Amino acid sequence: MIELTRLNGSRLIVNCDLIKYAESAPDTVLTLVTGEKLVVLEPSNEILLRTLEYRAHVLAAAWPEAATALGAKSACDAQKTVRDIEHQKSKD
Q: pLDDT for 24-79, tens place per residue?
A: 988 999 999 999 999 999 999 999 999 999 998 888 787 777 666 666 677 778 77
C-beta neighbour count of 51 within 10 angstroms: 18
Full domain range(s) for residue 58: 2-91
pLDDT in tens, 3-29: 999 999 999 999 999 999 999 988 999
Instruction: Identify each DSSP E strand in the chain by its residue range.
Output: 2-5, 11-14, 19-24, 28-32, 37-40
Looking at residue 75, its pLDDT comes to 72
Return phi, psi of residue 87, to 5°: -65, -45
| Domains in the chain, number | 1
Q: Which among 2, 27, 28, 5 has a CA at the least distance from the CA of 14? A: 2
pLDDT at 79: 79
